[in-house]
Amino acid sequence: MKKVNWGIIGCGDVTELKSGPAFNKVPNSSLVAVMRRDAARARDYAIRHQVPRWYSDANQLINDPEINAIYIATPPSSHEAYALAAIRAGKSVYVEKPMALNFEAAQQMRHAAESAVVKLTVAHYRREWPLFKKVKQLLQEKAIGEVRLARLEFYKMPILPEELLIEKNAWRVDPAIAGGGLFHDLAPHQLDLMFHFFGAARKINGIAANQSSQYAADDLVAGSILFESGVAFSGAWCFTAAANSDICEIIGSEGKISFGFFSGHTVSLTNGDHTTHFDFAPLQHVQEPMIGQVVKYFLDETPNPCTGAEGAEIMRWIEAFTAK
């Protein structure tokens, strides 16, 4: 493979700006076809984004001989089926997060790719953001000494009932499609970064509840992780809170690092009475840095930026947090 020729399965909202345009912006990469079950919308997307071909049947896209890599951007309930079909066809796979509907499906995808010697990467794209690379650098440099614990608070104002009637929003709070609710949609980014920073988990505990009964999924999740490294993590997610909050603090023996996952563009380093702020410009296409690394991996130039095993492990953590 000298160039990665992409096909997108599921050219919905997430691909309009976050990911889709980036496939033509990174070196040795080209978006050659898109698929959506609604043929009119697939055609419209292809025309607007100047994509050469469009399909309404995923198998036709997967078996397009010009395509050698598939980006799966559908809701989680269909990730496994599309990934397995692409793997059987020998096509490299880049799959959206959460990796699958559940841990079992994620493991099926992982093992299928390993058995077929087909490349599989999970879109935990915040790993490649300059902001989070800075956090990891500060940790590696021991800018806060030995890490003791990390604390996360993520609260959001409740979704209004009318928003739930809009199809593009409703699937995110339907456990049959998303695996859970907004925790399953957003927490994979946060938990993956904890894994990226601190490594394997030794022990995980969690609770989950549906406090508001606005929809079928849980709207409150809280839990803790003890990492093999000895670092302790605690997190609380509430999607029916009176105010929004997005803060993570990593506290060490000599200071702390503070940042938000979804709001703000600053990392703050505090040692004693002194605080240093590191500011980062927002990204036009939030997946572009990751897609650049995925292309290099598919071309055998770099290691896998997020393996199927790592993606499946995050699914295991999610299930440990929300187990009844």
Per-residue confidence (pLDDT) for residue 168, from 0 to 100: 61
Which amino acid is residue 308, in one-letter code? Answer: G
- Evaluate whether 172 touches 163 at the Cβ level (below 8 Å): no
Alpha-carbon distance of 53 to 47, in angstroms, equals 9
Alpha-carbon distance of 224 to 235, in angstroms, equals 6
Structure-model confidence comparison of residues 166 and 93, the more confident one: 93
Fold classification of 4-124+288-306 is Rossmann fold (3.40.50)
- Evaluate whether 306 touches 123 at the Cβ level (below 8 Å): yes
Mean pLDDT calculated for residue range 212-217: 91
Which value, in Å, is the radius of gyration of the alpha carbons in the chain?
20
Residue keyed to tokens 């997020």: 306
Mean pLDDT calculated for residue range 97-126: 98
Task: Identify the CATH class of 130-282.
Answer: alpha beta
Can you read off the two tokens belonging to residue 322? 């929300």
Where do the CATH 3.30.360.10 domains begin and end in the chain?
Answer: 130-282
Where do the CATH 3.40.50.720 domains begin and end in the chain?
Answer: 4-124+288-306
Alpha-carbon distance of 53 to 125, in angstroms, equals 26
Mean pLDDT calculated for residue range 75-93: 98
CA distances to 3, 182, 318 from 321, in Å: 40, 13, 5
* Average pLDDT across the chain, whole number: 96
Task: Write the Ramachandran bin of 87: left for phi over 0, alpha for psi from -120 to 50, otherwise beta.
Answer: alpha
Q: What is the pLDDT of residues 42-77, one digit of tens each?
A: 999 999 999 999 999 999 999 999 999 999 999 999
Nearest Cα residue to 9 out of 108, 90, 91: 91
Q: What is the pLDDT of residues 247-280, one digit of tens each?
A: 999 999 999 999 999 998 999 999 999 999 999 9
Alpha-carbon distance of 39 to 55, in angstroms, equals 7
Q: What is the pLDDT of residues 124-169, one digit of tens each?
A: 999 999 999 999 999 999 999 999 999 999 999 987 666 665 666 6
Phi first, then psi: give them for residue 106, nearest 5 degrees: -60, -40
